């Protein structure tokens, strides 16, 4: 039965963590974004996120997010990452429908990667951040 399940490969859907200024609170925030760099819309996007450190046996609460429709060539803010979470590995599991097919991909921001020195321009967002393909 397992051999009959088709698991299509995800392409052109990315996760990024971006450092941006928050005008309301007058501070810099780290925000996670999902980026749809496809030419088609994504439907029923489900994102499950968690931070963890296996060495210290630390784990954050599991957060769940839903986006009904993510248009082609667009992005959506998923969540704010608090300063304490940046020291952990941050995992995002993304599931979505493209047409009638379901896709699933895991994105991992490894422990210590989310920091100023690793910021690069993130395409489509046109902001500086860390992109995971």
Sequence-distant (≥ 6) Cβ neighbours of residue 109 within 8 angstroms: 15, 17, 89, 90, 91, 92, 130, 132
Report the C-alpha gap between 84 and 130 in whole angstroms: 17
Give pLDDT, residue 56: 85
pLDDT of residue 54: 87
Provide the pLDDT for residue 2.
61
Instruction: Give 75-98 pLDDT, tens digit per residue.
Output: 999 999 999 999 999 999 999 999
Q: Which residues of the chain have pLDDT under 50?
A: none
* Predicted local distance difference test score (pLDDT) of residue 33: 98
Q: What is the pLDDT of residue 84?
A: 92
What is d(CA 38, CA 50) in angstroms, rounded to the nearest whole number?
Answer: 26
Assign domain 13-114 to its CATH architecture. Answer: Sandwich (2.60)
Ordered by start, the domain boundaries in the chain are 13-114
Query: In this predicted structure, what is the pLDDT of residue 6?
Result: 75
């Amino acid at each position: 039965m397992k051999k009959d399940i088709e698991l299509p490969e995800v392409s052109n859907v990315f996760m990024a963590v971006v450092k941006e200024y928050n005008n309301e609170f007058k501070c810099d925030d780290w925000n996670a974004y999902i980026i749809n760099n496809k030419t088609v819309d994504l439907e029923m996007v489900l994102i499950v996120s968690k931070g963890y450190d296996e060495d210290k046996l630390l784990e954050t609460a599991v957060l769940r997010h839903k986006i009904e429709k993510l248009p082609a060539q667009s992005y959506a803010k998923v969540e704010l990452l608090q300063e304490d979470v940046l020291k952990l590995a941050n995992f995002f599991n993304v599931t979505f429908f493209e047409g009638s097919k379901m896709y699933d991909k895991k994105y991992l921001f490894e422990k210590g990667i989310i920091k100023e020195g690793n910021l690069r321009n993130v395409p489509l967002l046109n902001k500086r951040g860390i992109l995971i393909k």
